[in-house]
């Protein structure tokens, strides 16, 4: 078994630590941020890079997804005198646990004929919406977004509660037409442009079988949870993004409160942004 130091104690690092196969034993995280030294992430201690490498691991895994950042980290590891193998979690860009889970659920929901439409709150450029649409070709897909980015009202809540550094207009660079021409079954799409939850009143769906909630912020997530849950068919699924996120803490807070109130237990997915599932029995 190889011992491995994970360089980068952030969200990518936490996911990599959970994805490591049985051939590897993670000894610790290395991180340049002094504030993290002495803490732990996913139950693994975090220390300074020099200290981490002093234990002579067999390999170091660079826990970042962008090439430039990985290059800097690799140079630093070599400058610290590490001669061994350096791994890069490039394959994380190819494999996406959130998309894979959604597709698997779609197969099951379609096979079992669980009734209802599908939906997404927080569409942005449609990266995930196009996958949902392709996985549910026979169902109407309801797409909710301001298509102008974050709203000032929601950002004010983030600032007041210290939940994120979100700014009004973040994620503004998109448009319905752009998303629409990316969909495989565009005749199935219904768009609700504007502030959620106000736009929900226009939604004609009587029931949902699958809903992705990916608005990043506390207020829209907290508003969406009861609205979609109460219209979810038995066997239907809510998939929530950013629930175990360090960048956006609002969705996690909203899910915790909702689950406490409704006595539900979210099932985590091992993806980069800490998604969870809520399934109706
Ligand atoms: C991270 S993006 C969604 C990304 C997309 N699901 C994907 O996987 O590519 C978050 C989106 O939520 C939208 N959003 C946030 N708060 C909203 C609100 N109150 N009403 C409508 N849309 C909102 C933003 O405009 C933004 O496009």
- Same domain flag for 29 and 103: no
> How far, in Å, from the CA of 62 to the mean position of ligand 1?
30
To test ligand 1's pocket by mutation, which of 120, 122, 135, 213 has the most ligand atoms within 8 angstroms of CB?
Answer: 122
Query: Taking 90 as the threshold, does the pLDDT of residue 79 lie above it?
Result: yes
Residue 91 has pLDDT above 80, yes or no: no
Q: Rounded mean pLDDT of 2-26? A: 93
Residue 195: strand, helix, or coil: coil
Res. 247: pLDDT tops 90 = no
Contact indicator for 64, 39 with CB cutoff of 8 Å: no
- Distance of CA 146 from the midpoint of ligand 1 (Å): 7
pLDDT value of residue 27:
97
Tell me which residue has tokens 């889970």.
Answer: 101
Neighbour tally for 174: CB within 10 Å: 17
Residue with tokens 């491995």: 4
Q: How confident is the model at residue 171 (pLDDT cuts 50, 70, 90)?
A: very high
Specify the residue with its C-alpha closest to ligand 1, atom 9: 127
Confidence label for 84 from pLDDT (cuts 50, 70 and 90): very high
Listed residue (83, 159, 99) closest to 133, CA to CA? 99
- Rounded distance, CA 265 to CA 277, Å? 9
Given 93, 115, 136, which residue is the final one in a domain? 93
CATH code for the domain of 205 = 3.40.50.150
Lay out the sheet containing 59-62: strands in order across: 40-41, 44-47, 24-30, 2-7, 59-62, 85-87
Asked if 60 and 183 sit in the same domain, the reply is: no
- Ligand 1 pocket, residues with Cβ under 6 angstroms: 122-125, 127-128, 144-146, 149-151, 154, 171, 195-196, 214-217, 220
How far is it, in rounded angstroms, from Cα 216 to Cα 247?
A: 9
**Over 90: is that where the pLDDT of 93 sits?**
no
Query: CB-based burial of residue 37 (10 Å sphere; 0-12 exposed, 13-18 middle, 19+ buried)?
Result: middle
pLDDT of residue 204: 86
Please enumerate in sequence order all residues whose Cβ is within 8 A of that of 192, keeping only pairs 6 or more positions apart, or say none. Answer: 142, 143, 144, 145, 199, 200, 202, 203
Residue % of the chain over a pLDDT of 90: 90
Same domain, 252 and 120: yes
For a mutational test of ligand 1's pocket, the pick from 97, 99, 118, 124, i.e. the residue with the most ligand atoms closer than 8 A to its C-beta, is 124
Would you say 140 and 117 are in contact if contact means Cβ atoms under 8 Å apart?
Answer: yes
Query: Given 42, 69, 93, which residue is the final one in a domain?
Result: 93
Distance CA 152, CA 45 (A): 38
Predicted local distance difference test score (pLDDT) of residue 187: 98
* Residue 97 main-chain phi, psi, to 5 deg: -65, -35
Phi, psi of 45 (to 5 degrees): -70, 150
pLDDT in tens, 206-246: 999 999 999 999 999 999 999 999 999 999 999 999 998 88
- Do 66 and 108 have their domain in common? no
Domain identity same for 84 and 126: no
Q: What per-residue confidence (pLDDT) applies to 142?
A: 98
pLDDT band for position 90 (cuts 50, 70, 90)? confident
Q: Is 101 found in the same domain as 26?
A: no
Quick one: 234 and 123 in the same domain?
yes
127 and 231 in a single domain? The answer is yes
Can you say how many angstroms the Cα of residue 219 is from the centroid of all Cα atoms in its chain? 17
Number of domains in the chain: 2
Q: Which range has the worst mean pLDDT, 18-32, 89-103, 207-221?
A: 89-103
CA 147 to ligand 1: nearest atom: 25
Report how far residue 128's alpha carbon sits from residue 122's, in angstroms, rounded to the nearest whole number. 10
Domain span including residue 83: 2-93
pLDDT, tens only, 100-128: 999 999 999 999 999 999 999 999 999 99
Domain boundary among the residues 28, 60, 93 is at 93
Atom of ligand 1 nearest to the CA of 154: 19
Percent of residues, the chain, with pLDDT higher than 70: 100
Do 138 and 34 sit in the same domain of this protein?
A: no
- Spatial separation of the C-alpha atoms in residues 135 and 95, rounded to whole Å: 17
To test the pocket of ligand 1, the residue of 146, 156, 168, 202 to mutate (highest count of ligand atoms within 8 Å of its CB) is 146
Q: For 128-166, how does the pLDDT look when each residue is reduced to its tens digit (9 = 90+)?
A: 999 999 999 999 999 999 999 999 999 999 999 999 999
Question: Could you tell me if 136 and 105 are in contact, meaning their C-beta atoms sit under 8 angstroms apart?
Answer: no
Give the predicted TM-score (pTM) of the model: 0.91
Going from the Cα of 16 to the center of ligand 1, the distance in angstroms, rounded, reads 26
- 142 and 67 in a single domain? The answer is no
d(CA 114, CA 211): 13
Residue 87's domain is classified under what CATH number?
3.40.50.720
82 lies in the same domain as 124: no
Strand 141-145 relative to strand 117-121, pairing = parallel
Q: Assess whether 26 and 103 both reside in one domain.
A: no
Q: Rounded to whole angstroms, how far apart are CA atoms 72 and 133? A: 39
From first CA to last CA, the distance across the chain in angstroms is 41
């Amino acid at each position: 078994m190889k011992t491995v130091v994970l360089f980068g104690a952030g969200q990518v690092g936490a996911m990599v630590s959970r994805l490591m196969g049985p051939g590897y034993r993670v000894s610790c995280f290395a991180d340049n941020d002094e504030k993290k030294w002495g803490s732990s992430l996913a139950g693994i201690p975090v220390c300074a890079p020099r200290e981490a490498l002093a234990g002579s691991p067999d390999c170091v895994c660079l826990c970042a997804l962008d090439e430039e950042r990985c290059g800097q980290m690799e140079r630093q590891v070599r400058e610290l005198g590490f001669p061994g193998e350096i791994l890069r979690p490039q394959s994380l860009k190819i494999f996406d646990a959130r998309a894979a889970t959604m597709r698997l659920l779609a197969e099951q929901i379609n096979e079992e004929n669980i009734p209802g439409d599908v939906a997404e709150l927080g569409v942005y450029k449609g990266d995930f919406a196009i996958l949902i649409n392709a996985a549910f070709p026979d169902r109407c897909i309801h797409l909710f977004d301001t298509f102008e980015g974050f709203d000032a009202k929601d950002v004010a809540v983030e600032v007041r509660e210290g939940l994120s550094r979100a700014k009004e207009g973040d994620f503004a660079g998109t448009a319905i037409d752009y998303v629409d021409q990316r969909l495989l079954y565009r005749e199935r799409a219904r768009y609700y442009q504007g502030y959620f939850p106000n736009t929900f009143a226009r939604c004609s769906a009587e029931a949902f079988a699958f809903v992705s909630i990916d608005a990043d912020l506390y207020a829209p997530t907290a508003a969406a949870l009861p609205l979609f849950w109460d219209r979810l068919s038995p066997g239907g699924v809510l998939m929530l993004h950013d629930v175990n996120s360090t960048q956006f803490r609002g969705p996690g807070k909203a899910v915790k409160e909702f689950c406490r109130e409704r006595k539900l237990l979210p099932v985590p997915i091992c993806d980069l942004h800490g998604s969870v599932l809520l399934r109706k029995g």
